[in-house]
Amino acid sequence: MLIPDTLQGALMLSLIDFFLSFVVIAAIGLVLAAFPWLNRIAKPRVKDPIQE
């Protein structure tokens, strides 16, 4: 076990966990912010009738 079974260990675990939770969820938020780009791929490519 990496964290000691003491009050200090509990405080350390809480700090690390709370901080990392923000980091990971912010990273997920960043990934989600890029999601609208997917809609460009998904858009059906309609051929330009004038060029045809």
Partner 1 sequence: MHDQFILFLGALLKQTGLQELWWGNLVMIAVGCAMIYLAIAKHFEPYLLIGIGFACIVANVPGSDLIRQGGLFHYAYQGVNLLILPPLIFLGVGAMTDFGPMIANPRLVILGAGAHLGIFVALVGAKLWGFSIQESGAIGIIGGADGPMAIFVTVTLAPHLLPQISVAAYSYMALMPLIQPPVMRLLTTKQERLIRMEQPRQVGKLEKVAFPIVMAVIVNLFLPPVAPLITMLALGNLLKEVGVVERLSKTAANGVMNVVTIVLTVAIGSTMSADTFLTVSTLQIVFLGLVAFVVGTASGVLTAKIMNIFLTKKINPLIGSAGIASVPIAARVSAVVAQQEDKRNYLIYQAMGPNLAGVFGTAISGGIMLALLRAG
Binding site for partner 1 (CB under 8 A): 1-7, 9-11, 13-18, 20-22, 24-33, 35-36, 38-39, 41-42
Query: Taking the complex as a whole, how short is the minimal distance between the CB of residue 46 and partner 1, in angstroms?
Result: 17
Query: Taking the complex as a whole, how short is the minimal distance between the CB of residue 47 and partner 1, in angstroms?
Result: 21
CB of 31 or CB of 50, closer to partner 1: 31
- The dihedrals phi and psi of 19, each to the nearest 5 degrees, come to -65, -50
Sign (positive/negative) of CA torsion 28, 31, 33, 36? Answer: negative
